[in-house]
Structure 1
Amino acid sequence: MIFFTADTHFFHKDLLGNNDFAPRPFPSVEVMNQTIIENWNARVKPTDTVYHLGDIALYFTRPAKLSDEAVYNVLKSLNGNLVLIKGNHDSRDLFKYLSKHNYQVNGKPKFEFHDVGVLIKVNHRQLYMTHYPMMMGIVKQIINLHGHIHHYSVNVKENLNVGVDTPEKDYLNYKIPFGAPFSEADIEQMIEGKRADFAKRK
């Protein structure tokens, strides 16, 4: 199966507690990290693929290799092959470290890297996956999955925020655990829910 997520922000201590951007009610980054890992692995099988649309972690150490290694160890603990689209908080050094320490899972690399975005076809739709929301204009059957804006929603029905903090998870008919990536069925339900929401506004 294929899954989608963004803005995990592993190790980002400034997001803990209440804030206006991405409130995360955890007592420590260790608890937040572990919660995301457990909820991710409860849903994603080792044979699945997860598209991560940027902002993997925010963690700085001296030397930087220590934080790169810590993020690598978190990502190693996550099930599935990870397709990583670079976010504004993802350094090239981190991607170089992950590339240097890449390994095989299911006969292909654990990590795949993209600087800008990826376009795939799922359920007769084209999903254009980027970190930043893209203004696509009038398009048919193209949905922009993105992250970056955390608990905000783009006021365009063809844009869908798939970050862990997204308010658009409210279009689902169940409560998704924090940090669990969205499935293909979730994405379809969110697309239709947002489309119906916009139709009511006319």
Structure 2
Amino acid sequence: MYLIEIRPVLEKHRLKQFLRKFRFHLHNTHKIPHITLIYSFKPKPLVKISEISQIISDVAGKYEDLRFLFDGISIKRGSKGLVLAFNISPSMELVALQRELYQRLKPLIKIERGKEKFSESLWFHAAISFGTTEKELKEIEKTDKFERLKQFLYPGVALRICLLGNSKIVAEYDTATKSLLVRKQALSKRYLSKTFKAYREKFLKVNIDNMSMRENIWFVADTHFGHKNIIKYCSRPFIEVKEMDDFIIRRWNEVVSPNDTVYILGDFSINHKKLKEYTSLLRGNKVFIQGNHDVPGVGPESMYFNFAGYDFLLTHKPSPQGNVWNIHGHVHNNRLREFPFVNGELKTINVGVDVTKFYPVNLSWIIDHIERKETKLWLS
């Protein structure tokens, strides 16, 4: 049998890390949840699997915005018990891609009996466990872990659309490079590096020319220079740590001028011995706030200041006060429902690079968002 799925690429390690906490509570769990687009099928007689691959390439190549959100969970009854799954909030283009792909393939494939309805009227989800019993569900509902599942919010993008045969990759369409890959290429780090480069050029860009930079004050957090493991922990689109460091340095110097002031709100570098080396490569006058991964005594734990009639509290860890705006880092992109880039209700601004597309954030951008009374998941 064959399947067509969105294989998590950037999100893979984050999902594994998050779901590892639930393995003792649930049976029949997926190590890495996938988003199935076309359910179990076989090609009809005389239809070659290469034809199926080419149709995936032809259809997927038409679409540009294939982003989605892992957005909480759903529980549905299946034929073998309860299915616990992440809700997927897809872009309109991702919905259109699935519909067109199914219509193009329908005359050429025979779908397993009982599975037609799943491809006809697709429930966008990524299954966490299947065959879960009512008893198991009641047990997990009693834990704080279940609440964390319900609150899970994480960005994703369909970088690879995968054709699987007998649970193995047959071919993949790379949506970033618009390339059809055979199995060996799909599993290659060299090709993955090309995917990430194309992804950065497409999705990690802010139109700076259309944004005001009227103030010479900037904020940034959680660069984690020299920290290899942060790449997988926070789904950063890099293969090597030097590639990540160089990219962040370029982003910083793209917007910061030599006489600007940059407030670094913690976790600047994992390699304390290279602190001076990194700071020498970056423009601006740096003011450090102590982070939990920084060398002790690098700066104060907090700082207040007032600008344009607004009071601000600078901290590493989020510290909502209610009466002041808290500019912080620490949480990266791991608690987006509570601490997105801007939370207008909590009065928090998350300037961790994982929600700012690796740019420092200008004070004028923050003032503009505050005055528009916005809540935004990330800088755009």
Q: Deviations over 1:99-149 (max 9, x none)?
A: xxxxxxxxxxxxxx32x1111112221111000111314x2xx20000000
Q: Does 1:160 align with 2:342?
A: no
Match of 2:330 in 1: 148
CA distance in 2, matches of 1:90, 1:127: 22
CA distance in 2, matches of 1:190, 1:71: 32
CA distance in 2, matches of 1:5, 1:197: 19
Distance 1:74 1:197, change over 3 A: closer
Could you list the runs of 5+ residues in structure 2 that have no partner in the other structure? 1-215
Distance 1:134 1:74, change over 3 A: same
User: In 2, are the aligned partners of 1:37 and 1:179 still within 8 Å (CA)?
Assistant: no
Match of 1:4 in 2: 219
TM-score normalised by the chain length of structure 1: 0.70
SS at match of 1:121: strand
The total of aligned residue pairs comes to 154
Give the share of equivalent positions with the same residue, in percent.
36
CA RMSD of aligned residues (A): 2.0
1:197: Cα distance to partner?
4.2
The amino acid that maps onto 1:33 is D
Distance 1:30 1:133, change over 3 A: same
SS at match of 1:92: coil
Q: Does 1:183 align with 2:368?
A: no
Q: Does 1:55 align with 2:267?
A: yes
The amino acid that maps onto 1:15 is I
Q: 1:24 aligns with which of 233, 236, 241?
A: 236
User: In 1, are the aligned partners of 2:225 and 2:245 still within 8 Å (CA)?
Assistant: yes
Which residues of 2 match residues 100-115 of structure 1 at below 5 A? Answer: 113-114=299-300
The amino acid that maps onto 1:118 is M
Which residues of 2 match residues 9-88 of structure 1 at below 5 A? Answer: 9-17=224-232, 19=233, 22-59=234-271, 67-68=272-273, 70-88=274-292
- Determine which structure has greater relative contact order: mean sequence separation of CA pairs < 8 Å that are 6+ residues apart, divided by chain length: 1
User: In 1, are the aligned partners of 2:320 and 2:346 still within 8 Å (CA)?
Assistant: no
TM-score normalised by the chain length of structure 2: 0.38
The amino acid that maps onto 1:74 is Y
Q: If you compute each CA radius of gyration, which structure gives the higher value, 1 or 2? A: 2
SS at match of 1:16: helix
1:192: Cα distance to partner?
4.3
Q: Deviations over 1:11-58 (max 9, x none)?
A: 1100224x4xx1111121111111111110110000000001000112
User: In 2, are the aligned partners of 1:160 and 1:191 still within 8 Å (CA)?
Assistant: no
